[in-house]
């Protein structure tokens, strides 16, 4: 390390050029810290939102971006009991939220209010980290923290992901692709909606039983009902909204569940739903904000047991982080955009 390490810092907003590669002093472990050599990190929609300041939680000045990443423990503090040098770990999205319900004192997030993974090294309290499944490559293991846990919370914690039940996913972002894989893991039938026909074959290859082009089928909620013998989807993983929520409600079964994940909003944003859609439905809307460390651990156990492999779109070298952000923000991706270090 020779006294200095490299890390990107979010110094100014609205442009990837504001994320600047700097040399920082070599980090040293406090009694409960682990020092991790980061091998790969990945991008999520929240990282673009943090950059353009539309994310609900403001970033700390000069924070190291990205919640998702993986690396090896290279040093541990004197009181550390959970890890040893050589262990391969990732971080938990809400670093301090271990289990149960989140509360306002637990909202610190890696890559937002705490330094994240876009660096050669990250210093974490040992309680912020978890082991990753052994069968995953470093690129795959770098995608678990945000999109993975969000999809896990949406599907596994719904009570609706039972064999033979129908799960509807929207779009082909990281959350939706994980949701398809988890829904199939639970034996569900998956209907995947995308705006792009060219993604249909890849969605089917991932496990989708039916694919709908929701851009070409404005009343796609009724198309979902047709595909389910009039019953509707038991679980809708709503990742687009707010303007898709009316169709999601039409698509949902009588006592269906819509997991509303969108975090865009603000005063100008309103959700309008025609009375004919909601008056005939007993569906519930559930909100999810990623998940706890226990959710991440539970998901990792399931991924290991099923040898599930996350979908990777493209891998960029550490020095090309700006190009990785640009590629991700252009939006024509299928799977996770990863930045891999040395």
For the CB of residue 97, give the shortest distance to ligand NAP in the complex, in Å: 12
Residue closer to ligand NAP by CB (options 86, 331) is 331
Rounded Cα gap, residues 115 and 97, in angstroms: 16
Rounded Cα gap, residues 284 and 281, in angstroms: 9
Residue closer to ligand NAP by CB (options 233, 261) is 261
Q: Does 240 participate in binding ligand NAP (rule CB under 6 A)? A: yes
Place of tokens 């891998």: 315
Q: Does 199 participate in binding ligand NAP (rule CB under 6 A)? A: yes
Q: Does 150 participate in binding ligand NAP (rule CB under 6 A)? A: yes
Interface residue with ligand NAP, options 172, 253, 257, 292 (CB under 6 A): 172
For the CB of residue 241, give the shortest distance to ligand NAP in the complex, in Å: 8
Q: Does 157 participate in binding ligand NAP (rule CB under 6 A)? A: no
Please, which of residues 270-299 interact with ligand NAP by CB under 6 A?
A: 288-290
Interface residue with ligand NAP, options 267, 272, 331, 342 (CB under 6 A): 331
Rounded Cα gap, residues 84 and 310, in angstroms: 26
Half-sphere exposure of 167 (CA within 13 A, CB side): 32
For the CB of residue 173, give the shortest distance to ligand NAP in the complex, in Å: 2
Rounded Cα gap, residues 296 and 148, in angstroms: 8
Would you say 272 and 246 are in contact if contact means Cβ atoms under 8 Å apart? yes
Residue closer to ligand NAP by CB (options 172, 181) is 172
Would you say 182 and 152 are in contact if contact means Cβ atoms under 8 Å apart? yes
Rounded Cα gap, residues 205 and 172, in angstroms: 13
Contacts of 299 (CB under 8 A, 6+ apart): 144, 148, 149, 152, 156, 291
Q: Does 146 participate in binding ligand NAP (rule CB under 6 A)? A: yes
Enter the tokens of residue 153. 């919370």
Residue closer to ligand NAP by CB (options 120, 172) is 172
Residue closer to ligand NAP by CB (options 37, 336) is 336
Contact residues for ligand NAP, defined by CB under 6 A: 44-45, 146-147, 150, 171-176, 194-196, 199, 239-240, 261-263, 288-290, 331
């Amino acid at each position: 390390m020779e006294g200095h390490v490299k890390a990107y810092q979010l110094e100014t907003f609205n442009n990837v050029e504001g994320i600047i590669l700097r040399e920082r002093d070599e980090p040293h472990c406090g009694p409960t810290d682990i020092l991790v050599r980061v091998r790969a990190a990945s991008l999520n929609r929240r990282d673009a939102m943090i950059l353009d300041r539309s994310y609900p939680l403001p970033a700390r000045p000069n924070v190291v971006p990205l919640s998702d990443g993986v690396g090896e423990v290279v040093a541990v503090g004197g009181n550390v009991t959970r890890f040893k040098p050589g262990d391969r770990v990732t971080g938990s999205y809400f670093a301090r939220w271990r289990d149960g319900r989140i509360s306002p004192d637990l909202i610190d997030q890696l890559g937002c209010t705490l330094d994240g993974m876009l660096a050669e090294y990250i210093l974490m309290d040992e309680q912020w980290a978890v082991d990753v499944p052994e069968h995953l490559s470093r690129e795959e293991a770098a995608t678990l923290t945000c999109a993975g846990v969000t999809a896990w919370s949406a599907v596994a914690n719904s009570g609706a992901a039972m064999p033979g039940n129908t799960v509807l996913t929207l779009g082909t972002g990281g959350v939706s692709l994980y949701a398809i894989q988890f829904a199939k893991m639970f034996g569900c039938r998956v209907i995947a909606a995308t705006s792009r026909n060219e993604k249909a074959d890849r969605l089917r290859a991932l496990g989708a039983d039916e694919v709908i082009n929701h851009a070409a089928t404005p009343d796609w909620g009724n198309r979902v009902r047709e595909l389910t013998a009039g019953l509707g989807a038991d679980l809708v993983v709503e990742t687009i909204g707010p303007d898709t929520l009316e169709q999601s409600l039409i698509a949902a079964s009588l006592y269906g569940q819509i997991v509303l994940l969108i975090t865009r909003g603000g005063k100008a944003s309103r959700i309008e739903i025609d009375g004919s859609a909601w008056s005939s439905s007993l569906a519930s809307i559930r909100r999810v904000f990623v998940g706890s460390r226990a959710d991440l651990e539970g998901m990792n156990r399931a991924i290991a047991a099923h040898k599930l492999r996350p979908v990777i779109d493209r891998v960029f070298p550490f020095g090309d982080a700006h190009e990785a952000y640009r590629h991700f923000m252009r939006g024509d991706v299928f799977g996770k955009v990863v930045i891999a270090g040395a």
